[in-house]
Structure 1
Amino acid sequence: MNIFIDLILNRYQLFLLILVRTSGIFVFSPFFSSQNIPNTMKIGLSFTISLLLTTALTEIPNFTNDAMVFLIIKELMVGIIIGFISYAFFSTFYVMGQIIDMKIGFGMANVIDPQNRVQVPLMGNFYYILAFLVLLTINGHHTVIKALIDSYKFIPIGSFKYTQETINLLINTLAKSFAIGFKLSTPIVAVILITDIVLGIMSRTIPQMNVFVVGMPLKIVIGLIIISISMPIFYGVINGVFDEIIIDIYKFLKI
């Protein structure tokens, strides 16, 4: 224990900068930013990771106390951007669920997300929780920690520069998350569209049938059936989204 205390006292500046970058990831990352995890556990985990990284880094950068404020801002930005990229791709499932909800009739039914304490779509919350569980199953949170460790190889302490390439990467990340969410919802949207066309034809051929009474529960049933059938495919979809997270994180680090 005394060894770690002496290490922190001797390298307190380096430890503080590493702790700031680690904390930045914990602000936005899907797993580490969860409100279900106690704050004491988050603080303890970030402290432990920072302590291990402090012992692992052999090259200590030269900086003065006057430059610490700017270095802290830079390190915090690196951590926040890494966490933001991972969260942006996970918001794909909210986009997907929102589109599905509007088509099958759940558009007015929102639930409270205990992680972010906001109202989210019903199916979006379902897909997000399922993706969250798969992320833990495949040890995706370990990959985020590995990306944090590798970030010091590509972006040493104090060398981060907020360039136009970084801005373009973040914009493209958001654009891809919306595009992926729309593509994932396309099969259900197509089936519901065909159902609407069939109901429109039936209303013309059978005027006595009340389409509004029959159509709403029919679209809900058909939508739930398609969702159930597509569940085995969803595991591969989550792996694809997670691969996009890793690709964009390392793309940012190499920039």
Structure 2
Amino acid sequence: MLTVTYAQLNAWLTAFLWPFVRIAALVATAPAFSQSSVPARVKIGLAAFITLIVAPTLGALPVVTVFSAQGVWIMVNQFIVGAALGLTMQLAFTAIEMAGSLIGLQMGLGFATFFDPSSNASSEVVSRYLHTIALLAFLALDGHLQVINALIGSFQSVPIDAALLSAPGWRTLVQWGGAIFSAGLLLALPVVVALLVATLSLGILNRAAPQIGVFQVGFPVTLMVGLLLVQLMLPNMIPFFAHLFDLGVDAMGRVAGSLAPHP
């Protein structure tokens, strides 16, 4: 007759539940995985599948009752680590969306918004367009697999424990956010500068020949120039996005290493 002791059941449960919480938190926050178009059952199933593969490789875990105060605190720690890693990569897409918002505003499409199901909020057309291209590039370049690989590596950097996470990890995350938004501004800079020159040219034309009616032709001109510039930038956007994704994966490793509790 097969018998299972409470200690064995607790060991099996903790071996699955603690890594599952970290992995599920990343799936809920990382790009591609966190899309609202992905059903919740698929997200949970993916997190459980990855956990079944990763859990046997983690080695010895703290001998703690899973639903004790210390066990719940360990689960909270795992959720924070997974969410921080997912947010690290998500910041790259946020910077791309910010670049699209700046481009759309300069083109005169700041008012052209529609409901974005991924964020449950209104989103500019150009911003959503760049986000879609970035997401397709992310999947084509196996960025989702690199994110999972970085997550698995985080179990070595930040072992499952009840120790407090280190403050330098959050500082690293904030610094990464500042650097990635600078990259978003750099992405939008060519189009913004070109449209600014076009707008100044229209202003000079309006002063030289008021009868032309610049206010009637200004919006179509800036819109056409903006669309042409975005089309010309597309071949160079993919390498730029690939560089951002590589930086994001590296940032995930740095954030995980900085979050590791000091002995």
Sequence identity percentage: 26
What is the SS of the residue equivalent to 1:108? coil
Corresponding residue number in structure 2 for 1:4: none
- CA–CA distance in 2 between the matches of 1:188 and 1:171? 27
Corresponding residue number in structure 2 for 1:25: 26
The reply to whether residue 208 of structure 1 matches residue 211 of structure 2 is: yes
Letter in 2 for 1:63: V
Paired residues for 1:156-171 under 5 Å: 156-158=159-161, 161-171=164-174
Letter in 1 for 2:71: M
What is the SS of the residue equivalent to 1:230? helix
Corresponding residue number in structure 2 for 1:133: 136
- Contact 2:26 2:86 survives alignment (8 Å): yes
Deviation at 1:63, TM superposition (A): 2.7
- Contact 1:78 1:160 survives alignment (8 Å): no
What is the SS of the residue equivalent to 1:120? strand
Instruction: Give unpaired runs (5+ residues) of structure 1.
Output: 1-6
Deviation at 1:196, TM superposition (A): 1.3
* CA deviation string 1:146-178 (max 9, x = no partner): 111101111110166333312212221221232
- CA–CA distance in 2 between the matches of 1:164 and 1:47? 29
Change (3 A) 1:233 1:247: same
- Aligned CA RMSD, in angstroms, stands at 1.6
- CA–CA distance in 1 between the matches of 2:192 and 2:27? 35
What is the SS of the residue equivalent to 2:211? coil
- CA–CA distance in 2 between the matches of 1:253 and 1:145? 13
- CA–CA distance in 2 between the matches of 1:188 and 1:207? 27
What is the SS of the residue equivalent to 1:58? coil
Corresponding residue number in structure 2 for 1:78: 81
Q: Which runs of 4+ in 1 moved over 6 A?
A: none
Deviation at 1:10, TM superposition (A): 4.8
Deviation at 1:219, TM superposition (A): 0.3
- CA–CA distance in 1 between the matches of 2:209 and 2:85? 57
- Contact 2:19 2:78 survives alignment (8 Å): yes
Deviation at 1:8, TM superposition (A): 7.5
- Contact 1:89 1:173 survives alignment (8 Å): no
| TM norm structure 2 | 0.90
Instruction: Give unpaired runs (5+ residues) of structure 2.
Output: 1-7, 259-263
Corresponding residue number in structure 2 for 1:50: 51
Deviation at 1:245, TM superposition (A): 0.6
Equivalent in 219, 228, 231 of residue 231 of structure 2:
228
- Contact 2:18 2:75 survives alignment (8 Å): yes
| TM norm structure 1 | 0.93
Corresponding residue number in structure 1 for 2:189: 186
- CA–CA distance in 2 between the matches of 1:61 and 1:249? 25
Corresponding residue number in structure 1 for 2:5: none
Letter in 1 for 2:83: I
Corresponding residue number in structure 2 for 1:111: 114
What is the SS of the residue equivalent to 1:119? strand
- CA–CA distance in 1 between the matches of 2:40 and 2:64? 31
Corresponding residue number in structure 1 for 2:125: 122
* CA deviation string 1:72-117 (max 9, x = no partner): 1101100000001111111111100110011011000112222222
- Contact 1:20 1:76 survives alignment (8 Å): yes
